[in-house]
Every structure is written in C-alpha cells, then in structure tokens.
Amino acid sequence: MSGAEAPDAVDSRRPLWVVPHEVPAIVPLPSRSTEPRWVGVYRWAAVGGDLLAAMLGVSIALLTRFGYHVGSSYLVVSSVLPLAWVAAVALSKGYDPRFYGAGPDEFRSLMRAGVGLTAAVAMTSYVTKAEIARGFVVLAIPVMVVAALLLRYALRKDLHRHRVRGRCMHRVLVVGRSGPAATLCEHLESRPTDGFRVVATCRPRGESGEVEALDEPDILAAADRHAVEVVAIATDPELAGQSLRRLSWALEQRGIELIVSPGIIEVAGPRISVRPVAGLSLLHLERPSVSGGPHLMKAVFDRVVALGIVVVLAPLLIGLALAVKLSSSGPVLFRQQRVGRAGAEFTMLKFRSMYVDAEARLSDLYALSDGNGVIFKMRNDPRMTPLGRWIRRFSLDELPQLFNVLRGDMSLVGPRPPLAEEVALYAADDSRRMLVKPGMTGLWQVSGRSDLSWDESVRLDLRYVDNWSMTLDLLILWKTVRAVFYGAGAY
C-alpha cells in the first residue's frame, strides 16, 4: 500500500490518492451491478436447509406424539409449518447477506425465529380455537431450531473454506488517512473468513501541514473504478457529519454498502450501542462486567459443570493417576503457585508430566526455549516423561484443575493462570487480566495455545476480560473440545 506510485491516482489534480491493493487472481470477482452469484447460492442453500430442518422437526414431533395415526388437521399444520418457519427466519433477517459467514447475528436470527414462531402458533391456536397439542409444538419447534442451527453452521464452515481460498469475498475500498486506513486494512484482512478483501485504499495526497479533505466525488470515482461492493471509512474528522451523510446517499444509489470504523478495537458488539441524542448518533460503550450478578451465575455454573465432569470422568482420572504413578517415580500431582484474581496466589494442580528433577534442570534449557519470550515452552522437552508427552498433547494433565474450579480458585473459562515472575513483567494494561479468575481454558486455548506470541496471548486475555459473557464462555468451551481433540499448539 505504501509503495504505490502516483500514476495510480484517480486524477493527479485532486487531493485523493487511490492505491490499488494486490488482489490474488484466484476467482474472477463479479461487478457490483448484480448480486454476486455466491450470495444467491448461499441464500438458497440456507432456505433449503431451513425447510429440511422444519420437515425433520415436524416428522419427529408427529411420530413421537401420534405414531402412525395422524389426523388430517395435523397433516395440514405439518404442511404449513415449514413455510411459516422460512417466513419467520426471513422476518428475523436470517437471509440478510450482511450476516453471511461472519458474526453471531445469523444464528441469533434462527433463535428469534423459533421464539416468534412459537408465539405465532400459540396466538393462532387461541384465536381460531384450534386444538393443537402442546406436546407437538413443544417438540417440533425446538428440534426445528436445533437442526437449522446445525445445518447453518455446516453451511457457514463451507463458506469459510471458500473464503480462505479467496472466493466469495466482498470487494472493499478503504477511505481515510494512512495510519487509521492501514490499521483498518490490517484488521479486515486478518480474518479472511469474514469475507472482506481490500482492493484499494483512498487517502489525502499530503499528510503533513496543509491537508486537503477527502472529497465525495473522488471517493465515488474510486468506488466506480474498482467496482467495489463496500466502502469502509476509517476514523477521519474530515469525513464526518453532513459529508458522510451525503456520501451514504450517493453510495446507496450505486448499491454500495457503507461501513464506518469508530477506531475502537477489541470491543465486542454487545457492549456497543448507538443512542440518538439531539439529532446525533452517539456510540455508547457499556462497562465490562467483571463482578456482580452475572459473575455469581458464572461461579455457580463453573462449580456445577466441574462437579459433573469430575463424576463422569472419575474412571479416567483414577486411571491417569495410576498411570502417572506407575510410569515414573514421583508424586502423581504437580503443584505450582499461580496468581489468581486480584493478585491472590493459589496452588494449581496438574497431573505430573515431567521427571521429578524438572525444576532443577530448567536453567540449563532456557536458551532452547520455543516459548514467547516470557513463558518457557519447549517442543521436545527432555524433562518430559513418555506418558507426560501424550497427556500434554491432549491436555489431560490439566484435568485436576477441575478441583481448583470447585475450590473457587479458577474458572472453567478465563485468562491463562500466570506465574508470579510473569506478573512481575506485566505492563500496566496487562494487569487487567487479573480482574477475573484464571481459567482452565480461554481464548488463548482455542487460538493457538503455545504457538501464540506473548503479545497475542495478552491481547486475547484482555479481549476476554473486556467482553465476557456466558455466551462467550459456552462458545469457548465448545471450541476447546475441538482444540484438545486435534492437539494443535500443545507441548
């Protein structure tokens, strides 16, 4: 971007500098004048999946409730319900292309549609005095929603595979000054699965002294030249208010979507809301939830789930304890002091995966560390026992931390529990990690584990602290199962 030359500009006499991005010629991208073909394919696949989910839910409810003796009235209801389900999803914006493959809104729309359809069936039954068995409705719609969620998830993963290969992308023109524009480009391109491909950036020609403002005609000319589908505005005081309003009107006429970056990073959508005040749309950031009722619910959830896991995995825990004891000399459990919430130290438990003299040999191996400069990690650590190497690959050595969760020292999900010497190296911002309890798993666990750099690890932990929710915890727990199964980044 920075190495582009002046001949790439729209007009050398204008203040706007248009810098084409290097776009791999993997698949020809369509003109924005027509809806991209992949959008139509995805929409019809989603509609087909929802119809299939509805028919599955109806069939299971009929067979469970009535067996093979179904009245004619229920056959009519069963024929109408799948169409009503598709209509409910459409009204909940479940087929909006903006949400294809990115963010949770696509799944939320299915949940809203399920609630709305249940209410609609109940009201219709009451108004028409139709005798619709509650057991039929209570079974049909939940099965319908769950099946639709699973099918939509599979469809989304298929879309992600295409996007990683450079297909099914939205062409984006980024507008703004060099610094904010470069940051926005970096974030848009860091996750290809979100579907944004930056094809050009627009910025003022000079960025010191007298700087001419970005102009609406220049931006529109650049958008037309590169046939973009999205114009992304980086934070720029020169392009706001009435100028931004007129630009949105002009882009609307061309069928181009406009997105504006407020310059806020690592803040999840649920914490952001727009409040209209005196004719202005003000962005409001909710304070992160680090205490109170929601965290009390989290504590109860942690203990109940941890107790259930201990009961279910009791035979495995006993088997691993015996295996550790018999495979090498030393204690079954490895105990280590870690720093928890608010700086309180606690004893973290793990199955011993190394020989008993591991701590004494650590100083000789520091130069060979594969870690991130702060945390010592070694892919082929000679201190590790053969059994320890295996249980570490699948994170089985961390199962005793369930008892730390039961004692209240840790949570199921949270930042990585640090050592005291790591905390001593924390910058001022890093200490925010200790506003919540450390976790057995977290964003660091499902995003690369030991392969992460120190800065990446800190960034993920801070993102978790600032954007915590029970939904996020459940999502991380779901992803942890997959990360543990594949053993990626564990050593």
What pLDDT was estimated at residue 337? 93
Would you say the C-alpha torsion 19, 25, 27, 28 has a positive or negative sign? positive
The SS3 call for residue 234 is coil
Give the containing element (helix H, strand E) for 210. Answer: none
Tokens of 88: 């409910």
Per-residue pLDDT tens listing for the chain (491 residues): 333 333 333 333 344 555 566 544 333 444 444 678 899 999 999 999 999 999 999 888 888 877 767 666 677 778 888 999 999 999 999 999 888 988 788 898 999 999 999 898 888 887 877 777 777 788 889 999 999 999 999 999 999 999 999 889 999 999 888 888 888 888 888 888 888 999 988 877 655 433 445 677 888 888 888 889 999 988 766 666 777 888 888 888 888 999 888 766 666 656 676 777 766 677 777 766 666 677 788 899 999 999 999 999 999 999 999 999 998 888 999 999 999 988 899 999 999 988 887 777 676 666 565 555 566 666 677 788 889 888 888 889 999 999 999 999 999 999 988 888 888 878 777 888 888 899 999 888 787 665 667 777 788 888 888 888 888 888 899 888 877 776 555 54
Nearby residues of 361 by Cβ (< 8 Å), 6 or more positions away: 382, 383
* CB contact at 8 A, 148 and 110: yes
> Are 332 and 354 spatial neighbours (Cβ–Cβ below 8 Å)?
no
User: What pLDDT is stored for residue 366 in this prediction?
Assistant: 60
Q: 371-405, pLDDT tens digit by residue?
A: 555 666 666 777 888 898 888 888 899 999 999 99
What global pTM score does this model have? 0.67
**Which pLDDT value is given to residue 179?**
81
Q: Could you give the residue ranges of the DSSP H alpha helices within 92-133?
A: 105-128
